[in-house]
Amino acid sequence: MRNKLAVAAALVVTAAACLGIGIAQGASSPANSGAVNHSSHQPAFTVFKGSAATLFAVVNFDGSLARGYGVLSSKHEGMGSYQVLFKRGMRKCAYVATLGTAGSTGAPPTGYAGVVGRNGHVNGVYVQTFDQSGSLTNDGFHLVVSCPPLS
């Protein structure tokens, strides 16, 4: 029975991770869309030595910045759509976002977030928040950005 539970848990975690990747890759919005020819993209892989820079933002449901590190601003751009601008370029960085509140009490929101570099702002990240059914919803989120050292 224990093995069956472990296998079931592993399947759920894998499915959730795949769903999140699919959403992050497939989510688009007119506010952040631009013509992209994916066939011409070359992998941008650079090996670096040293420590990665970790930046973060905790953003409230109304787009106001609760706290952060390396953040210039955050704003709400419409139902479930947010822009976060940092003090450095984001194009060579990795972004991860999850729904969450700024406080330390209560239950976190249920749903998920998708992230992509902000079209038209090299220092920006575009975040969309969704409820369990996949509909855009205004929710607070935590955004973590990991970047190679500035050269």
Q: Summarize pLDDT for 57-112 with one digit per residue, the tens.
A: 999 999 999 999 999 999 999 999 999 999 998 999 999 999 999 998 888 889 99
Determine if the pTM surpasses 0.85.
Answer: no
User: Which residues fall within 8 angstroms of residue 34, CB to CB, at 6 or more apart?
Assistant: 119
3-state secondary structure of 125: strand
Structure tokens at 98: 């999850």
The arithmetic mean of pLDDT across residues 41-66, rounded, is 82
Phi then psi for residue 146, to 5 deg, are: -115, 125
* Token pair 């020819």: residue: 37
Average pLDDT, the chain: 79
Report which DSSP code applies to 40. G
- What is the pLDDT, as a whole number, of residue 150? 78
